[in-house]
A and B are shown apart, each in its own frame.
Chain A
Amino acid sequence: MISLFITLAHPKGVLLRDLHAVAMGRLEITFGRLRLERPGMLASGIMDETGDSMARMIKSGAGAVVTKSIGLEPRPGHRNPTFTEVEGGYVNAMGLPNPGIELFAEEMEIALRAGPVVGSVFGSNAKDFAVLSARMEDCGACAVELNLSCPHAEGYGAEIGSDPKNVRSIVSAVKSSVDIPVWAKLTPNTSSIVELGRAAEDGGAEAVVAINTLKAMVISAELRKPVLSNRFGGLSGPAIKPVGVRAVYDLRGALSIPVVGVGGISNWRDAAEYLLAGASAFQVGSAVGTKGPKVFGEINRGLEMFMSDHGYGSIAEMVGVARE
């Protein structure tokens, strides 16, 4: 009700209807070698295991989709329960289920007809990451996102991505096997995410993505056991937003490559927070579950409104403003 009132009472209120036309292109971002029409992407692991689903997210207003993290071989993931709601978000331990890069090529083909696709990959060593990334490039990915941060798959993700030395060597191995931009997705389950960011930059990453989920556990009091079959998992959703914003703020201050913000974004104000903290673009995951795919359109419209209210001509003008 309050926001409705402000919209109507706003001196420029009459213009709001034409805003869409005026603002066409205002949401466009360029970062590194990429240009996206809209700054919000679908985060890896949410509704992005199949081509049709990824296409739906782009049509719903995502500027790009990041695929489910894909490995060399088909993997069923952990046994159920793999997911549960908690206050402020979700805890999941899907366990990196995926059909393997071979079969995923078909899904990529379908998704790419709708718009840009960033290929997320996971491996247990630098060579696997390099091979998978090269395959993603062949499939038509506009960039590759290295999952160095999944908190619940033994031998993968954060288990290797918590060590700056590994981050650096994996990024640089991938760098030498592809021409498309390489992004490193970082874990917040570390004493210094900035150190991981520096390692990624040293290795040649063109962007860092922060954050993946926070390691977490849920126990049933009556049944006296951890709920997830993997026992622990990763927390996502609104509860982790302040953690993500802090990570982006610090990374922006320490690195010269762009930062992509992710964690708990479910409306335009959350997205603006990340941009003002220093993110050049952002990703939305859990909110696609709570609000549905329409969340992308809502965020886009809200950002346009915010930009015109506050006199921003482009997303780039907002990036890092809260740091000044």
Chain B
Amino acid sequence: MLHVSETVKIIGKMRESKDTYTLEFKWDAPAVPGQFVMVWIPGVDEVPMSLSRIGKIKAITVKGIGEASNAINDLQVGDYVRLRGPYGNGFSIKKSKKVLAVAGGVGVAALIPAIKETGCDTIIGARCEGEIILDDVARKYSKSVWTSTDDGSRGFHGNAVQLAKKKMALRDYDLVIGCGPEVMLYFLHEACKENDVECQLSLERFMKCGAGVCGCCMMDRLRVCKDGPVFGTEELDGLSDFGTRKRDECGRIVDLR
């Protein structure tokens, strides 16, 4: 069976920033860069998290923003956690391609496995210096890692997309991969079109089953959990919901802007 569930023991916990932790566990399920798992916190919730490591030892990197994510970050080494997955299509990167990875905030977690596999140039953007995470990990695999902060406290003063535009103008990239807030990805997609560079972006929608069954994570006719979460240039062009609309837990349309 492709998708399995397993209860695993936390074997490592690292603090990445004041509200973000990486939790490591042993799990030999096959996974590709860009896939995610559903993480259950008994009595609280079950939420999607990208795999920030995909080998025999896997990891998730979680920013505490609410009840479930904070509960995950309260887990300690030795605690058990039940996971479902890995789900989703992941990035599909040909070896020959010259790749630029563009991350916003905790979105870098989903890109680390792809950065590891390709050693690609990487931009990590955040609001301020304290929120730049996993740049040390990225530097282990990539020779060119640039940072950007909205307040200029570290690296390029501006957002990740502005920096990506500069880099695209200087170097010939074949492919941009990205993960971060949807507005950022929307403008990254625009920037890639302007520069005639293919892109693959990892998107988010509210998820329940994660397995392409319940239909709650639809963007137009596609399921973010199964047809995505990574969508290519052409798919993104065809998604009228991209950057404009999402659906709530009842299936009602909510405008993003």
Taking the nearest CB of chain A, how far is it from the CB of B244, in angstroms?
14
Determine which of A80, A227, A229 lies in contact with B82 in the assembled complex, contact meaning CB atoms within 8 Å.
A227
Judging by beta carbons under 8 Å apart, are B214 and A98 in contact?
no
Which A residue's beta carbon lies closest to that of B210?
A83
Determine which of A52, A220, A223, A229 lies in contact with B218 in the assembled complex, contact meaning CB atoms within 8 Å.
A52
Scoring A residues 70 to 92 as 1 if CB is less than 8 Å from chain B, else 0, what string do you get? 00001111011111110000101
Judging by beta carbons under 8 Å apart, are B221 and A56 in contact?
yes
By a CB distance below 8 angstroms, the chain A residues around B226 are 289, 292
Taking the nearest CB of chain A, how far is it from the CB of B41, in angstroms?
10
Which A residue's beta carbon lies closest to that of B85?
A85
User: Would you list which residues of chain B between 1 and 45 have a CB under 8 Å from chain A?
Assistant: 1, 3-5, 7, 38, 40, 42-43, 45
Judging by beta carbons under 8 Å apart, are A83 and B209 in contact?
yes
Judging by beta carbons under 8 Å apart, are B80 and A223 in contact?
yes
A127 beta carbon closer than 8 Å to chain B:
no
Query: Given the complex of chains A and B, what is the CA–CA distance between A99 and B216 in angstroms?
Result: 11
By a CB distance below 8 angstroms, the chain B residues around A19 are none
Determine which of B213, B220, B251 lies in contact with A286 in the assembled complex, contact meaning CB atoms within 8 Å.
B213
By a CB distance below 8 angstroms, the chain B residues around A55 are 221
Determine which of B40, B80, B215, B251 lies in contact with A46 in the assembled complex, contact meaning CB atoms within 8 Å.
B215
How many contacting A-B pairs (Cβ < 8 A)?
118
Query: Given the complex of chains A and B, what is the CA–CA distance between A53 and B40 in angstroms?
Result: 27
A47 beta carbon closer than 8 Å to chain B:
yes
By a CB distance below 8 angstroms, the chain A residues around B223 are 47, 53
Which B residue's beta carbon lies closest to that of A52?
B221
Interface SS of chain A: helix, strand, loop or mixed? loop
Determine which of B7, B38, B213, B249 lies in contact with A288 in the assembled complex, contact meaning CB atoms within 8 Å.
B213
Which B residue's beta carbon lies closest to that of A237?
B213
Scoring A residues 159 to 176 as 1 if CB is less than 8 Å from chain B, else 0, what string do you get? 000000000000000000
Query: Given the complex of chains A and B, what is the CA–CA distance between A83 and B45 in angstroms?
Result: 12
Which B residue's beta carbon lies closest to that of A86?
B5
Judging by beta carbons under 8 Å apart, are A97 and B251 in contact?
yes
Judging by beta carbons under 8 Å apart, are A83 and B249 in contact?
no
Query: Given the complex of chains A and B, what is the CA–CA distance between A98 and B214 in angstroms?
Result: 11
Judging by beta carbons under 8 Å apart, are B250 and A81 in contact?
no
Which B residue's beta carbon lies closest to that of A46?
B213
B84 beta carbon closer than 8 Å to chain A:
yes
Which B residue's beta carbon lies closest to that of A77?
B249
Query: Given the complex of chains A and B, what is the CA–CA distance between A68 and B216 in angstroms?
Result: 11
B211 beta carbon closer than 8 Å to chain A:
yes
Count of chain B residues with a beta carbon within 8 Å of a chain A beta carbon: 36
Determine which of A92, A99, A286, A289 lies in contact with B252 in the assembled complex, contact meaning CB atoms within 8 Å.
A99
Tell whether A80 pairs with B212 under 8 Å between CB atoms, given A52-B221, A100-B250, A220-B7: no
Taking the nearest CB of chain A, how far is it from the CB of B226, in angstroms?
8
By a CB distance below 8 angstroms, the chain B residues around A74 are 250-252
By a CB distance below 8 angstroms, the chain B residues around A75 are 250
B172 beta carbon closer than 8 Å to chain A:
no
By a CB distance below 8 angstroms, the chain A residues around B1 are 85
Which B residue's beta carbon lies closest to that of A88?
B1
User: Would you list which residues of chain A between 224 and 255 have a CB under 8 Å from chain B?
Assistant: 225, 227, 229
Judging by beta carbons under 8 Å apart, are B215 and A48 in contact?
yes
Judging by beta carbons under 8 Å apart, are A227 and B251 in contact?
no
Judging by beta carbons under 8 Å apart, are B250 and A82 in contact?
no
Query: Given the complex of chains A and B, what is the CA–CA distance between A259 and B5 in angstroms?
Result: 35
Judging by beta carbons under 8 Å apart, are B7 and A82 in contact?
no
Scoring B residues 246 to 257 as 1 if CB is less than 8 Å from chain A, else 0, what string do you get? 011111110000
A103 beta carbon closer than 8 Å to chain B:
yes
B121 beta carbon closer than 8 Å to chain A:
no
Tell whether A92 pairs with B215 under 8 Å between CB atoms, given A220-B82, A225-B42: no
Judging by beta carbons under 8 Å apart, are A49 and B218 in contact?
yes
Determine which of B38, B218, B249 lies in contact with A76 in the assembled complex, contact meaning CB atoms within 8 Å.
B249
B residues in contact (CB < 8 Å) with A: 1, 3-5, 7, 38, 40, 42-43, 45-47, 80, 82, 84, 208-216, 218, 220-221, 223, 226, 247-253
A residues in contact (CB < 8 Å) with B: 45-50, 52-53, 55-56, 68, 74-77, 79-85, 90, 92, 94, 97-100, 103, 220-223, 225, 227, 229, 286, 288-289, 292
